[in-house]
Structure 1
Amino acid sequence: MGAIKSIIEKNVPGVYVHSLEIGNGIVEDMENGFFKNTNDQIELACKKISMDDKLQAGYHAMGFSQGGQFLRAVAQRCPNPPMKNLISFGGQHQGVYGFPRCPGDNSTLCNIVRKLLNLGVYTDFVQKGLVQAQYWHDPLNEELYRNKSIFLADINQENVKNRTYKANLMKLENFVMVMFGDDTMVDPKETEWFGYYTPGQARRVAPLRETPMYTEDWLGLKQMDKQKKLHFLVSPGNHLQFTDTWFIANILRPFVMK
């Protein structure tokens, strides 16, 4: 995130960048990315943003990997100060169904995550204690997912339809979703554009516009699409691999520097 911060500051004169840290220091921040209840993380992020005087007039939000859906939850749950543009890089907005390559460089943490997922992703213990379980979406057990998911099913309006969530998300000026064309970590990669496996199987992926989420407009995405607020971008390469040139041309210039 330090490198991203530097690129933004170098290319956007006078910009202020607040890099959210969930915890006291880099180590705790990384551990919380695996083991801190996502809803508590969102609450903390909302508090940090609301207390930053320099963000009160509005801000652009960039979320990387799981940070994409986490910042979307911030937009839905915490509309003040206002989020102007939400830019999601490889966010898993419909969840994941697979764990092919653990994020980060800590093999010990990765092995713990795999063991916990194998224990039972929808047990209360794993749901409350493992971040990745909270956006695990099993297309073969849709009812179990909807009933047990403590985070993703809520922000995706798959049970109770929260009108405030929808209204808040629709306040965005732009919702930019970056999918990585050669992504081998996120399964399926189309979740980065809200696509997902059709229920009952794990082969065919339905694009966003074919899902009930869109056709019934649970989140307001259909209306936002008509208003040309949705932007679907592809970055060549694997998960979170993009060049400075691509980032400046496709993200900073059209959505931050204008």
Structure 2
Amino acid sequence: MVSTPLTGSHLAFACNKLAQDPKLKAGYNAMGFSQGAQFLRAVAQRCPNPPMKALISVGGQHQGVYGLPRCPGESSHICDWIRKKLNSGAYTDAIQKHLVQAQYWHDPLNDDLYKQHSLFLADINQERVVNETYKKNLMSLEKFVMVKFLQDSIVDPVVSEWFGFFKTGQAEQTETLQESALYKEDRLGLAEMDKAGKLVFLATDGDHLQFNREWFNAKLLPYIR
């Protein structure tokens, strides 16, 4: 289980440790919480040895965020002003390399800027070029489970937890994964995985990462047994 991020050399270190563990030789299941979920997805895409069998994303922001915790831009002029100001520094090399949250900041109003300067998210989401190895590795998952928190006040937009996001060019209307160019162009193989029944979309009526043991045992535990 991962709740804290792995970036750069940390990701390489983790992949090396996984490859050296004889207990994982036949494969393993992984569960990531919040930002840890998209970093585990990077592990699945970049490090196929040993193979990850099931990936469970609990509140992960797979299309990134364009909002502040408990301060969604579309419902507050102040929040909207703040998130727009953040763009002035979010895509500089120094911020991208040293601030984890900047690595999954996704500005739908400046899509070209995001694609050009996002060091992590734009790479694993195949925004610049399609890496067929990334795609093949992700498609090798037996299950990719995504949990969305219906009352989430941390992730904006919350549909990012199901791989959705704002429609390009504005920051109010959202689109589902299935409506997105990522899915239609199938740059990650998600459309094919969806048709094969490998994608699982779960929802729970709580704030970010708020669930009880009964829900966990009933909904998530079966995928990691």
Q: Secondary structure at the match of 1:233?
A: strand
Question: In the alignment, which residue of structure 2 is the partner of 1:201?
Answer: 170
Within the candidate set 176, 185, 190, 2:145 is matched to 176
Q: CA deviation at 1:40?
A: 2.4
What's the TM-score once normalised by structure 2's chain length? 0.90
> How far apart, in 1, do the equivalents of 2:192 and 2:22 lie?
32
Q: What is the CA deviation profile of residues 217-246 of structure 1, one whole-angstrom value per residue up to 9, with x for unaligned ones? A: 000000000100000000220000111000
Q: Secondary structure at the match of 1:85?
A: strand
Question: In the alignment, which residue of structure 1 is the partner of 2:120?
Answer: 151
Runs of 4+ in 1 over 4 A off after TM superposition: 116-119
Q: What is the CA deviation profile of residues 23-44 of structure 1, one whole-angstrom value per residue up to 9, with x for unaligned ones? A: xxxxxxx6xx4xx7x2323212
Q: What are the within-5 Å matches in structure 2 for residues 71-86 of structure 1?
A: 71-86=40-55
Q: What is the CA deviation profile of residues 167-222 of structure 1, one whole-angstrom value per residue up to 9, with x for unaligned ones? A: 00000000000001100000001000000001110000000001010011000000
Q: What are the within-5 Å matches in structure 2 for residues 1-258 of structure 1?
A: 33=5, 38-101=7-70, 117=86, 120-253=89-222, 255-257=223-225
Letter of the structure 2 residue corresponding to residue 213 of structure 1: L
Contact 1:140 1:201 in 2 (8 A): yes
1:206/1:118 CA distance change after superposition, 3 Å: closer
Q: Secondary structure at the match of 1:182?
A: coil
Percentage identity across aligned positions? 61
> How far apart, in 1, do the equivalents of 2:130 and 2:68 lie?
29
1:89/1:20 CA distance change after superposition, 3 Å: closer
Contact 2:30 2:40 in 1 (8 A): yes
Q: CA deviation at 1:119?
A: 5.9
Unaligned ranges ≥5, structure 1: 1-18, 22-29, 103-113
Letter of the structure 1 residue corresponding to residue 213 of structure 2: D
> How far apart, in 1, do the equivalents of 2:181 and 2:88 lie?
31
Q: CA deviation at 1:118?
A: 6.9
Q: What is the CA deviation profile of residues 141-184 of structure 1, one whole-angstrom value per residue up to 9, with x for unaligned ones? A: 00000000000000000001100000000000000000011000
1:195/1:20 CA distance change after superposition, 3 Å: closer
Contact 2:57 2:146 in 1 (8 A): yes
What's the TM-score once normalised by structure 1's chain length? 0.79
1:20/1:67 CA distance change after superposition, 3 Å: closer
More off after superposition, 44-53 vs 211-220: 44-53
1:241/1:162 CA distance change after superposition, 3 Å: same
Letter of the structure 1 residue corresponding to residue 178 of structure 2: R
Unaligned ranges ≥5, structure 2: 72-82
Q: What is the CA deviation profile of residues 46-85 of structure 1, one whole-angstrom value per residue up to 9, with x for unaligned ones? A: 1221122211110000000001100000000000000000
